[in-house]
Structure 1
Amino acid sequence: MINVIVAGPRGKMGKAALEMIMKEGNLTLVGCIDRKNDRTMVKDIEGLPAFDALIYENIEECLTETNADVLIDLTTPEHGYNHTKASLNHGVRPVVGTTGFTEDQLQEITGICEDKGIGAVIAPNFATGAVLMMQFAKWAAKHFPDVEIIEKHHDQKLDAPSGTAVKTAQLIKEERTSKVQGHPDEKETLEGARGADVDGMKIHSMRLPGLVAHQEVVFGGEGQTLTIKHDSMNRASFMSGVNLSCEKVMEIDTLVYGLEHLLE
């Protein structure tokens, strides 16, 4: 049995994580971290599952007073980064679904993991289908170097482009010959119309109510196009990846960035 803390239990992803823990038999909730409801039982908060675990506003108190093995963080980039460092310093292994980490931050976290000899998992996307979409896109880039990425998320998402889109671009870049796409004299009559530029490929971000998490990777070639698409219809789609990460993080002693490295 793995003892877990959930940061952000009242958020949509946090609630989905609590419901997953309630359903699955390999995880035990020992505490939650939230910005309100300090020292309140999870079961006493309307809309949350009936867990006999305390909510803490102070992460240091939570990490000290609970016998946790893993911290599941599904909050914001700023809080996710701080929570990750705090948990590692307490010997608790973080599983983080928050995107927006910089390369410097990832290197810092890797250094802490290796100094402590414990693992961490940061995944831009915990949906298995999204991971497969990224891997298929990497494969396709060997044959279709002209590509654009369109990512669509709910209008409460804080970072743009999404971590999944950035990760996809990084994977494509590993296989694709660097090139600037489009007409050499192309001009934007409205700034930003062509999207963000990563190694010559474009990333476009949409933010609308009604969306959850969606991405299309569109390749173009002579007389043909190829579209690789993934849609998450609800947040339960991410939970099998969160559960797998909680198990696998107990077996590693460094930072793993991306769920694909944990899939067989």
Structure 2
Amino acid sequence: MKKVLIAGAAGAMGQKAVALVNSMPETKLTAVLAPHLTADQREQFGLDPDVQIYHQLEQIDAGVADIWLDFTVPAAVYPNVKYAIEHGMAPVVGTTGLTDEQEAELVAASKQHHLGGLIAPNFGMSAVLLMKFAKEAAQYFPDVEIIEMHHADKKDAPSGTALSTAKLIDQVRPTHETNPDEVSTLDQVRGGDYHGIKIHSVRLPGYIAHEQVLFGGAGEALTIRQDSFDRQSFMSGVKVALDKVLSLNELVIGLENIL
């Protein structure tokens, strides 16, 4: 039986994760990290009486879990995952906001501790396929921009999925020149810039998670788009990660790398 701790169990994604873990016959939810969740809210948040509730990292008991499932916030994810690795818990991370340097440090720490794990910018299969298809298309369409649209409460921009898409595109697209005469009359109107790839972030009520990759060529255009209308769509990818994470020997970046 795999023992799982969920960090951020009281949040929207955390609650989906609680239901998922409770439904899996070979996993057991043994603990949660939720700063504001109280013992009398157990039933409301789907927690059995024997699930440990922790409010701070320092309170967590040794050996309470084999897997650390993180759906928290960008400010907390790095210290959370670092703590998990140092205390022998294989991290499965759906929280975005980690820098390249932080990811590299966590991968190095996982190797040092001989511990597997997964950081996934997106657990939705449509998003994973969008990134795969965009990388393929970028070899033929080097002129590309990315638009990502998320709910108004999302704390980081651009999204981890959009940034990962840009990184994958950057690996393969041919060198080309941008318009040297372009003039912007409004600051940042052209969006963020990742190695010449423009990324535009939209934050509006009513949205969940959506991304478009727009490619332009001589006399033609290609648009690849994915839409996540319900957070439940991410749980199929989380289940794959929970099934496979203990067989990994280091921290892996991207769900597509364990499918």
Pairwise same-fold verdict (TM > 0.5): yes
Report percent identity of matched pairs: 44
Q: Which residue of 2 aligns with 1:150?
A: 147
Q: How does 1:219-230 map to 2 (within 5 A)?
A: 219-230=215-226
Aligned partner of 1:64 in structure 2 is: 62
CA distance in 2, matches of 1:4, 1:151: 31
Aligned partner of 1:243 among 235, 239, 243: 239
Unaligned runs of 5+ in 2: none
Task: Note if contact 2:123-2:238 (Cα within 8 Å) is conserved in structure 1.
Answer: yes
Instruction: Identify if the C-alpha distance between structure 1 residues 50 and 30 changes in structure 2 by more than 3 Å, giving closer, same or farther.
Output: closer
Report if the CA contact (8 A) 1:13-1:74 is conserved. yes
Partner SS, residue 151 of structure 1 = strand
CA RMSD across the alignment: 1.4
3-state DSSP of counterpart to 2:207 = coil
How far did residue 50 of structure 1 move? 4.5
User: Could you report, residue by residue, the CA deviation over 1:181-223 in whole angstroms, capped at 9, with x for unpaired residues?
Assistant: 3x32111111111111122121100000111100000111111
* 1:4-153 aligned within 5 A: 4-37=4-37, 40=39, 43-44=42-43, 46=44, 48-52=45-49, 53-64=51-62, 66=64, 68-153=65-150
The answer (yes or no) to whether the contact 1:32–1:62 under 8 Å persists in 2 is no
In 1, Cα distance between equivalents of 2:40 and 2:166 = 42
Partner of 1:191: 187
* CA shift in 2, pair 1:102/1:63, >3 Å: farther
Alpha-carbon contact 1:41-1:51 (below 8 Å) kept = no
Distance 2:250 2:21 in 1: 25
SS class of match (2:60):
helix
TM-score, normalization by structure 2: 0.95
Where 2:42 maps in the other structure, the secondary structure is helix
Q: Aligned equivalents of 1:63 and 1:169: distance in 2?
A: 39
Counterpart in 2 of 1:175? 172
Query: Cα–Cα, structure 1 residues 71 and 49, in superposed 2: closer, same or farther, change >3 Å?
Result: same
Q: In structure 1, give the amino acid aligned to 2:154.
A: K
**Counterparts of 1:245 and 1:117 in 2: how far apart (Å)?**
18
Between the aligned partners of 1:111 and 1:135, the Cα distance in structure 2 is: 26
Please report how far the alpha carbon of residue 232 of structure 1 lies from its aligned counterpart in structure 2 after TM superposition.
0.6
